[in-house]
Chains A and B, each alone.
Chain A
């Protein structure tokens, strides 16, 4: 065990002991400048806490990179497309048989390259914001590395019209793909 882990184990043990011995009179004193939340009594959920046992999202649609894209050879999988009152949540992932450094097609400043949700009447672009230096970037992640393993990414779009059942996801990176919209 490394010194750091040993130290951490000791601290954790001490904290656990302190918690075991904690009664109502032992509740930490709140700082006067802060309003404090009701104090839950934590239990040592320890190994394999229930919230770690979740199923990985499975693809609801898949497409492949265009040959002239710097992501050529990659597979894009759509994991979720969720309609919400104020926005639309896209969760997607890209994999590549070999580890691929950042493609030149995208970083968060190349907003116009990011996938667009297209209905029969409208094209919905990813939400953007302006940085203090005047750059426009998107509420999305820049894909720095692609690997054989899945790397889920979230991005937000404007809300879709109520009842939209599916959209076409379009991008310079990959062939158009139709994706069903879930309505939570």
Chain B
């Protein structure tokens, strides 16, 4: 089998025609011979138990597997309750470790409100991709905790060694018009889960009941302990970088943002635009025009973290001003432009690496919504 792929990277940084022959990569790349993509298995119907989504999850401590099932994403006043269960798959030893915190491969730092002690149970989040936001567990006054099942041994009762048991987490409230979300839990993304109203009933007296014996009691009174609820909502950003055009397009909560690497605009430590930057400016103008833009555009300069703060701030301002001048000359007068510099603020990549610093040195053009 031969695979031929032409990949051209952006001009001005480097141009590389990469012809990839499968023979050359045969030792590194193995395409499975039967690489047909199987459709996800249909969800089973269990009388009296909503089964909304399922995924295999893995335990980082002993490598054991479990099946995580979402039973409910329930809207209540001031919050959203996520009900889930975890059970050992068929054939697993009944004494396999089930401590929920160890499932998910390190998920506990993702989409939390910055509490270092939070486990996987504190890192449940609901993704509204269409709305561009993620809703995470609500922070409470104890900065290292969240409202949810935590640190509980998910071992089922001895007489039902393979039963699944139910846990829950309280997440930030969803807007009324959000009817489905993706549930991000234990390192897995479970898509298209419906959002419904009210708590699940009946309530069990067991804090972690076996599935089918009722649902955990949700301590809604503890919502009064929530602090900084707005910090549990994260605006999402997507980024698509054309290979041939040196202008990336990002979707942010503020609208469309065009992004041009400083390396395709400026020489090292300079803020005047060389002729070679013309292609990038023209590409940005084309995108602004194609978007039917009118109104106010903001041009923002950024640097990496190398060097003095004040120097970086001034450099970013001068670079933004140069790009503004170049755009202004090519855009209709109905569009007004403002330039600003943000120095090394808001990095989009790791300033500890060469590649990361290159990404952080950039000029963005924010189009009005």
Interface residues of A, Cβ cutoff 8 Å to B? 1, 4-5, 8-9, 11-12, 14-16, 18-19, 22, 27-28, 31, 33-37, 39-64, 66, 80-82, 84, 86-87, 89, 91, 93, 102, 107-113, 118, 120-125, 127-134, 136-145, 147-158, 168, 172, 174-178, 180-182, 184
B157 proximity list for chain A (CB < 8 A) = 5, 8-9, 12
Give the bracket for the number of chain B residues in contact with chain A: 35 or more
With A14-B205, A39-B202 as contacts: A47 and B243 at CB distance below 8 Å? no
A133: min CB distance to chain B, Å: 6
Q: How far is the CB of B95 from chain A (nearest CB, A)?
A: 12
Contact of A121 with B209 at beta-carbon distance under 8 Å, contacts A34-B198, A40-B48, A40-B49 already known: no
Residue of B nearest to A170 (CB): B7
B39 touching A182, Cβ below 8 Å: yes
Task: Check B348–A111 contact: CB distance below 8 A.
Answer: yes
The answer to whether A1 touches B158, judged by C-beta atoms less than 8 angstroms apart, is: yes
Q: Is the CB of B20 within 8 A of A130?
A: no
Cβ contacts A to B, 8 pairs, < 8 Å? A9-B157, A14-B205, A35-B197, A86-B130, A93-B58, A137-B110, A149-B65, A155-B189
* Chain B residues, CB < 8 A from A58: 38
Interface of A is mostly: loop
A15-B209, A176-B20 given; A56·B38 CB < 8 A? no
- Nearest CB on A from B318, distance (A): 23
Q: Are B106 and A46 in contact (CB under 8 A)?
A: no
B99, chain A: closest CB distance, angstroms: 13
Determine if B111 and A109 form an interchain contact, defined as CB atoms under 8 angstroms apart: no
B227 cross-chain contacts in A, Cβ below 8 A: none
User: In whole Å, how far is A105's beta carbon from the nearest beta carbon of chain B?
Assistant: 10
Provide the residues of chain A in CB contact with B353, threshold 8 Å. Answer: 110, 112
Q: Which one of B35, B114, B130, B189 has the highest number of Cβ atoms from chain A below 10 Å of its Cβ?
A: B189
**Binary contact track B49-81/A, C-beta < 8 Å → 1, others 0:** 111001111101001110101001010110000
- Kindly state the separation between the CA atoms of A145 and B198 in the bound complex, as whole angstroms: 38
Neighbouring A residues of B237 by C-beta, 8 Å: 127-130, 136
B contact set with A: CB distance below 8 Å: 3, 5-7, 20, 25, 28-32, 35-41, 43-51, 54-58, 60, 63-65, 67, 69, 72, 74, 76-77, 87-90, 104-107, 109-111, 113-114, 127, 129-130, 134, 153, 155, 157-164, 182, 184, 187-192, 196-206, 208-214, 220, 231, 234-244, 251, 345-350, 353, 355-356, 359
Contact present for A60 and B37 (CB under 8 Å) = yes
The 10 closest A-B pairs by CB, nearest first: A144-B106, A149-B63, A154-B189, A175-B28, A37-B198, A182-B37, A158-B238, A112-B349, A151-B58, A129-B234
Q: Is A63 a contact of B39 with CB atoms below 8 Å?
A: no
Contact of A152 among B39, B127, B187, B214 (CB under 8 A): B187
When C-beta atoms are compared, the residue in chain A nearest to B218 turns out to be A34
Q: Does more than half of chain B's interface fall in helix, strand or loop, or is it mixed? A: loop
B342 CB to nearest A CB, Å: 11
Whether B87 pairs with A52 at a CB distance below 8 angstroms is yes
Instruction: Given A123-B243, A156-B182, verify A31-B220 contact (CB < 8 Å).
Output: yes
- Minimum CB distance partner of A6 in chain B: B158
Contacts of A157 in B (CB 8 A): 238
Chain A residues within an 8 Å CB radius of B111: 129, 137, 139
Do A28 and B44 have beta carbons less than 8 Å apart? Answer: no
Min C-beta distance of B257 to chain A, whole Å: 12
Q: Which of B48, B104, B190 gathers most chain A CB within 10 Å?
A: B48
Please name the residue on chain A nearest to B57 by beta carbon: A152
Contacts of A123 in B (CB 8 A): 240-243
Check A45 against B49 for contact (C-beta < 8 Å): yes
CA distance A93 to B56 in the complex (A): 11
Nearest A residue to B18, CB-CB: A176
